[in-house]
């Protein structure tokens, strides 16, 4: 059901790769809610071509931009400025670690890959916000959201160097949220989403077991990509105007759990078998 929450709002959505992507769901919902936006992804991701189907369905265009390249981001914002004048929302839904992809463990990281992880997955958020601010492209009370994961704050085995990137990403939301809020009334938040079966998600070793564990551990169960998109829409809407500099958990309660009754029963049973 649509509520017209984004009627008249314009934006940029980074990171829709295929129909499993969280950004894909956000684009569909934003369109349903009356927004107009540009879709963007890295040139390599464009080759798969699926994003063009999404663009068609949302009556928009795709602009290629590598989030680790300043000139690409500047070019993207110039196109957005020509098209819309000012904009109201930006979704940063970008993550990539070559260490994870190549199966390197946290105590054997390749430092060139580590740099790339931080650049693509965290510094790109700063880059996007800085260019937006320098070009003064955001309307007052505009909203910028990035997606993160609880491993930024608690150790979750195997999330690897992405945990460090997400910690930096969350910090950028606070540091820039202060500056952009004070000067232009633009809010910046991160949403800490449940593990979700997407292309990036399936790169995390043991994601099936993790999904099962967090689903059972969370009183409300894991949050889906669609539910995450709903939450993003509320943050882009005028209903959350005073929410900024926050890391907002969207995980069915997982992040505040220690031990559930069910997990304790299973744990006790496994001890009896020893
Ligand atoms: N899937 C999960 O379990 C999960 C949980 C919490 C947070 N997140 C975060 O959600 C966001 C979206 O991931 P997803 O799960 O939808 O997976 P996804 O693979 O669909 O999206 C990741 C996107 O990052 C893009 N990307 C990679 N390198 C880029 C670059 N250099 N420039 C521009 N774009 C680039 C990819 O092309 C892709 O579209 C990521 O930040 C991810 O870390 C995912």
Tell me the C-alpha distance between 16 and 13, whole Å. 8
pTM: 0.97
Q: Residue 191 and residue 248: Cα distance in Å, rounded?
A: 5
Residue 12, classed as helix, strand or coil, is strand
- Which listed residue (106, 149, 231, 267) is catalytic? 149
Distance from Cα 173 to the centre of ligand 1, integer Å: 17
- Using one digit for the tens of pLDDT, what is the confidence trace for 218-228? 999 999 999 99
Count of beta carbons in the 10 Å neighbourhood of residue 192: 22
DSSP 176-212: HHHHHHHHH--EEEEEEEPP--SHHHHTSTTHHHHHH
Is the pLDDT score of 1 beyond 90?
no
Q: With 80 as the cut, is the pLDDT of residue 177 above it?
A: yes
Q: CATH code for 10-272? A: 3.40.50.720
114 is catalytic: no
Coil/strand/helix, residue 218: coil
Separation between Cα atoms, residue 130 and residue 106, nearest integer Å: 30
pLDDT at 248: 98
Locus of tokens 């195997």: 158
pLDDT at 204 over 80: no
The domain ranges of the chain are 10-272
Distance 225 CA to ligand 1 centre (A): 12
Q: Ligand 1: does its nearest atom lie under 6 Å from the Cβ of 30?
A: no
DSSP-assigned letter for residue 122: I
Task: Give mean pLDDT, residues 202-218.
Answer: 88
Residue 220: its pLDDT value, please? 97
For residue 175, list its beta bridge partners: none
pLDDT recorded at residue 170: 99
pLDDT in tens, 82-125: 999 999 999 999 999 999 999 999 999 999 999 999 999 999 99
């Amino acid at each position: 059901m649509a509520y017209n929450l984004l009627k008249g709002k314009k934006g940029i959505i980074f990171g829709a790769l295929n129909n499993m992507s969280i950004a894909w769901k956000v684009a569909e919902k934003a369109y349903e809610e009356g927004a107009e936006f540009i879709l963007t992804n890295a040139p390599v991701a464009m080759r798969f071509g699926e994003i063009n189907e999404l663009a068609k369905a949302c009556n928009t265009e795709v602009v290629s931009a590598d989030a680790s390249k300043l000139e690409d981001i500047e070019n993207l914002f110039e196109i957005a400025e020509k098209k819309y004048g000012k904009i109201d929302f930006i979704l940063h839904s970008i993550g990539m670690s070559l260490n994870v992809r190549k199966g390197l463990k946290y105590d054997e990281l390749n430092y060139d890959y580590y740099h790339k992880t931080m650049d693509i997955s965290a510094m790109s958020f700063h880059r996007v916000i800085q260019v937006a601010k320098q070009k003064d492209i955001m309307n007052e009370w505009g909203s910028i959201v990035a997606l993160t994961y609880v491993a930024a704050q608690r150790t979750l085995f195997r999330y690897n160097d992405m945990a460090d990137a997400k910690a930096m990403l969350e910090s950028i939301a606070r540091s820039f949220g202060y500056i952009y809020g004070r000067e232009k009334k633009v809010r910046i938040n991160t949403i800490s989403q449940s593990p979700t079966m997407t292309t990036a998600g399936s790169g995390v070793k043991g994601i099936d077991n993790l999904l099962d564990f967090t689903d059972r551990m969370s009183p409300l169960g894991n949050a889906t990509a669609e539910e995450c998109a709903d939450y993003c829409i509320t943050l882009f809407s005028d209903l959350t105007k005073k929410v900024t500099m926050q890391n907002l958990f969207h995980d069915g309660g997982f992040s505040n759990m220690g031990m559930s009754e069910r997990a304790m029963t299973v744990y006790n049973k496994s001890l009896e078998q020893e």
